[in-house]
């Protein structure tokens, strides 16, 4: 599944990942790679919370 974000949304999402202590890296193709399944699940929750705020 591919989702595109504008720059401001992407920055907000990365800042939220950092605040939540989620370990990730950005791959060359622009996708995220999470260090664990737990980080991936937490990231999904962070994204859902950001969607609710929007």
pLDDT at 3: 67
Closest among 42, 32, 47 to 2, alpha carbons compared: 32
Helix boundaries (H) for 1-54: 7-19, 37-53
pLDDT in tens, the chain (54 residues): 556 778 888 899 999 999 999 999 988 888 888 999 999 999 999 999 998 987
pTM of the predicted structure, to 2 decimals:
0.78
44, burial (CB in 10 Å: exposed 0-12, middle 13-18, buried 19+)? exposed
pLDDT at 19: 96
Q: How do the domains of the chain map onto residue ranges?
A: 7-53
Tracing tokens 């202590």 back to the chain, one arrives at 21
């Amino acid at each position: 599944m591919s989702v595109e974000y504008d720059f401001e949304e992407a920055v907000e999402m990365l800042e939220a990942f950092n605040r939540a202590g989620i370990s990730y890296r950005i791959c060359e193709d622009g996708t995220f790679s999470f260090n664990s399944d737990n980080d991936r699940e937490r990231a999904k929750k962070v994204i859902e919370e950001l969607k609710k705020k929007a």
